Chains A and B, each alone.
Chain A
Amino acid sequence: MSRRSDTAAPERSIQQGLVGRLFVHPLFDYLLIGGGLSLMTLPIVAGWTGGQNVFAETSLPYILFASTMAHFASSTVRLYTKPQATASWPFLTMVFPLLALAVLTLCISQPQRLGAHLQGLYLTWSPYHYAAQAYGLTVMYCYRSGCLLPAADKKLLWWVSMLPFFFSFLFSTYSGARWLLPAAVFSNPVVEAGLAAIRPVLSVLVFLGPVAVFFKVWRSAPAVMPLIGPLMLIANGIWWLLLSFDAFVWATVFHGLQYLAIVVIFHLKDQRDLPGNHHGTAFHVVKFYGLCLLLGYGLFKCLPLAYVWAGFGFGESLLLVTAAINLHHFIVDAYIWRLKKSDPNRRIVDEGLGLGDGQTV
């Protein structure tokens, strides 16, 4: 008898296991959350089609507004709409916003001494944040789909998920290692040779790693890993490796779409479960997304101009407000996705373990 059939998890066909237990619909989950849309549009945004990048000229500001800016705002909207958030995280919800504004103002007033490091921290943390999100979502889809990852596989999955971050940390021209260490280190011939040797190996591992983990889990776990897992890991690798010049633009757009999709699902679940809720799905989705757009507009478009009016330069005001919003998002994110045993959202992750039929919730 195979190990897979010994499991307590319900019997599911290989095909169902590969598709996984999804949130909305295979198209929605695989295109938006899985990053499939980014792979489909990759030839256009990367400029491989040879023609002018239509997204870069006219529609990019609106794409950034609808995805990137709304996504950064969504963690804050989520924080203040999540039931019991203020009681669970009093410092984060009540003190941290003013603290963040104070640190931002201090950095804008000392742009060369402090602001440059705020920017360096933001650019270094970004690829880690995206890699951690790809890891978290992969684990979540595994659990939902009844694939209980053995500890060793989970650890391996984490390391594989982090490969795009390691690549960005080592090879980004103005963040990561180059932010932390003096430039002279990288002109050392030994370091140059070492990095030149590591680069192709790491590039290959970023794409082969997820495939290897998938087959390792196939052999060792009680159920197959849904394909959306390796898809998310490979998509994240593509954003950081193949879109190198525009990585921070397009990675945030696609990551933003992924994030918005999943945060709306969790928000919707919370709001529908609230006692006395009389509103339907559309109301909660439109309200949440509308708040994200409004806050995103205030944060990215209005806040920097206030600093300009106060006498600070355009450069430091616009760049450092963006850096601070990013860092605030990363920190808030570290809390709101921690699902304690008592957290009602834990059901969204766990419920797949006991179900064997339907593909979506």
Chain B
Amino acid sequence: MSSLTANFAPETPFGRRVYRLTFVVGVVVFVGLALAGIAYSLLFDHRPPDLSTNYLARHFLALAEQEDHAALSAELRITAEIDPQPQMLENLARAAARANDQESLRFALTRLIESGMATDAGSYLGLATLLLRQPDLKVGDATSAVSYLQESLRLDPDQAVANNNLGTAFLLVGQPDQAAAAFRRALELDPGLESAKTGLDLATGTTAP
């Protein structure tokens, strides 16, 4: 790296002037930006930037309190793409679900699961459900949905909806026996679940698909 600086050392008076000018511009820009930050805080917050304020958390909380789910989902999406921490992704998943932002919901759940940060059954169920609801569903998506639903049920076995969705996923990958077993389990947990009754009929051949 020291050879790099040697190469960039100005050797003519003009080069030295350019360097000095660049330095002055850099200092002016930085000081200007810092003062602009203070001015912004004074104008909108009526005090200088505060050490104890977490501006990011406060901003997201304000959007959530205004119930502006679309804006919150969009801003959390950008933030989570820069810094995909578990808490950020979970917040994004919640905001995206409320804003019906399926793409961001899928992004959040996929990142949580792929990075091994998802520890709740709901994340796996949510992502599997999104996959199964796709208009252009492919076999690979249904196979992924099966594994996500199995993981969701491993974490919380007593979910009627997850068992029902697992039955649907098994039907889509052509495994009617496993599908029937999953639908039966769903009906054990929630005997009134109509989609599980229909699914069981389909899986056992009682009703034509």
Interface residues of A (CB under 8 A from B): 61-62, 65, 88-95, 97-98, 101, 111-112, 115-116, 119, 173-174, 178, 183, 186-187, 297-299, 301-310, 313-316, 318-320, 334-335, 338
Contact A95 B22, CB 8 Å, known A101-B30, A305-B55, A315-B56: yes
Task: Return A109 CB to nearest CB of chain B, in Å.
Answer: 12
Q: How large is the interface on B (under 10, 10 to 19, 20 to 34, 35 or more residues)?
A: 35 or more
Of the candidates A88, A98, A315, the one whose C-beta lies within 8 Å of that of B75 is: A315
Residue pair B81, A112 in contact (C-beta under 8 Å): yes
Of the candidates B27, B54, B76, B115, the one whose C-beta lies within 8 Å of that of A178 is: B115
Residue pair B36, A306 in contact (C-beta under 8 Å): yes
Residue pair B37, A306 in contact (C-beta under 8 Å): yes
Interfacial residues of chain B within 3-57, with CB under 8 A of chain A in the complex: 4-5, 8-10, 16, 19-20, 22-23, 25-27, 29-30, 33-41, 49-52, 54-56
Chain B residue at smallest Cβ distance from A92: B5
Q: B139 an interface residue at 8 Å Cβ cutoff?
A: no
Residue pair B79, A315 in contact (C-beta under 8 Å): yes
Residues of B close to A301: CB separation below 8 A: 37, 49-51
Interface residues of B (CB under 8 A from A): 1-2, 4-5, 8-10, 16, 19-20, 22-23, 25-27, 29-30, 33-41, 49-52, 54-56, 59-60, 75-76, 78-79, 81-86, 114-117
Of the A-B pairs whose beta carbons lie under 8 Å apart in the complex, a sample of 23, sorted by A's number, is: A91-B4, A91-B5, A92-B5, A95-B26, A101-B26, A101-B33, A116-B82, A119-B83, A174-B115, A178-B115, A297-B51, A299-B34, A301-B37, A302-B33, A305-B36, A305-B37, A306-B36, A307-B33, A314-B56, A314-B79, A315-B79, A319-B83, A335-B5
A-B pairs with the 10 shortest C-beta distances? A315-B79, A302-B37, A98-B26, A305-B37, A94-B23, A91-B8, A97-B26, A306-B36, A309-B40, A301-B49
Residues of B close to A65: CB separation below 8 A: 51
Task: Return B60 CB to nearest CB of chain A, in Å.
Answer: 8
Q: By DSSP majority rule, is chain A's interface helix, strand, loop, or mixed?
A: helix
Contact A91 B82, CB 8 Å, known A306-B37, A309-B40, A318-B56: no
